[in-house]
Amino acid sequence: MGQKIERSQWQQIIQQQKDQIILPSDFPNDAELRHTYQVARALDPLLLDYFNNVSFTIDKEQIQQGTESILTRFKAEILKGLHTKTLSDQTEKNAKNQRFSNIFEFAGCRKLYLSSIYTRVISENLGHKIEEIANLSPYIFNPESELSISLKGIDFIVFWQTDLYYGQMKTKKDTLTGSQGSRSINELRIHPRSMFIAALDMGAGTNPSKKKAEAAGIRLEVGESFWSKIGIGYSEMLNKIAATLRDIEQELYDE
């Protein structure tokens, strides 16, 4: 690209160039996807130049410290948020003739009622934290955190074997329902190279399936297959997450 372009100039360059990007003739009739495609194609040469100047030496100690810091914050957020979830407001709720959330709440089964809340909140927060762990890798670029640019269906960009892959990450293989899998394919297939990533090799069959992903030109990466590409130890990360969840469980149910 010649002279190195400073990061502070990227947004201006993207804004100047994105409207000049020509859409493929069969491009979906979706304004958000159109915007994403044009911004991404203007971003591509900037990213290639950026990655060509990155040191890809993996500092395992730095990755470990970063992971532990993220999981420590995860634990603190969960415990602070969930300790407030009790049935103490049930009398007021009944007085206002409000509907019960489920049979566990109606029965006054505190642990069963709270367990469903705990699992939902923890799972959602954990998904964000796993993405943060991936962002520790020098092979990852997050346009939202780095440039305040949101790309529809894209969590980050992976640099692998000299190419850019626009990536969408879900926590595990079966996170998405059937219709959501089709939406992910539509969001990813617009890019020259893309990845659908199941961060944890857990769950039933992958959605979207390997067959559908490959037919759309999308790489499907699950668990170790993904983390090894970005220089982060999958087993080590998994064990740290498990230890953190055990700590959370003990504190939530310690009476």
pLDDT by residue (tens digit) across 218-248? 999 999 999 999 999 999 999 999 999 999 9
Q: 46-78 burial, b if ≥16 CB within 10 A, otherwise e? A: bbeebbeeeeeebeeeebbebbeebbeebbeeb
Question: What pLDDT score was predicted for residue 205?
Answer: 83
Distance CA 173, CA 226 (A): 13
User: Taking a C-beta distance cutoff of 8 angstroms, is the pair 238, 200 a contact?
Assistant: yes
E-assigned strands of 10-155?
A: 140-141
Instruction: Inform me whether the pLDDT recorded for 1 exceeds 50.
Output: no
What is the pLDDT at residue 40?
98
Closest CA to 198 of 159, 233, 152, 167: 167
Write down the mean pLDDT value for the chain.
90
Model-level pTM?
0.89
Cα–Cα distance for residue pair 207/180, rounded to 1 Å? 8
Closest by CA position to 217, among listed 155, 147, 163, 143:
163
Domains and CATH numbers, the chain: 7-53+140-230 (3.40.1560), 60-132+237-253 (no CATH)
Residues 255 and 253: their CA atoms lie apart, in Å, by 6
- Whole-angstrom distance, CA of residue 217 vs CA of residue 191: 9
Q: Rounded to an integer, what distance in angstroms lies between the CA atom of residue 86 and that of residue 110? A: 7
pLDDT of residue 85: 58
Helical pair 31-51 and 10-17, crossing angle rounded to 10 deg: 130
In this prediction, residue 163 carries a pLDDT of 97
Confidence band, pLDDT 50/70/90 cuts, at residue 157: very high
- Rounded to whole angstroms, the Cα distance separating 18 from 44 reads 11
Q: Cis before residue 28, ω within 30 degrees of 0?
A: no
Q: Which of 98-112, 153-167, 176-190 has the lowest mean pLDDT?
A: 98-112
Query: Which has more pLDDT, 12 or 178?
Result: 12
Are 130 and 171 spatial neighbours (Cβ–Cβ below 8 Å)?
yes
